[in-house]
Amino acid sequence: EHADDGAAMAGAMDFVAPADGATNRIGAQAFTMGDRGAIGVTYTRAAGRFDFGVGVAASENRTAGKVGIGLSW
């Protein structure tokens, strides 16, 4: 049960890079696993060769957060 909650929340916090020419992206995701589901919201910002993302997700009775940073070349 807890594993399904965690997997659903992780799946609902998927970072995606902004579209070509854009620097910011807000995304909304939904994910289900077994009988568990979660919704998430993410924000990604690209600045030159770096990108930064933050996300939050919630299932029926749990919440999770995620932060990431990347470098492209």
With a cut of 90, say whether residue 72 has pLDDT above it.
no
Contact criterion met (CB below 8 Å) for 58 and 28: no
Give 30's strand partners: 39
Residue-wise pLDDT tens digits, 11-51: 777 778 888 888 999 999 888 877 888 889 999 999 988 99
Angle at 36 between CA 34 and CA 39, to 5 degrees: 130
Q: What is the pLDDT of residue 2?
A: 65
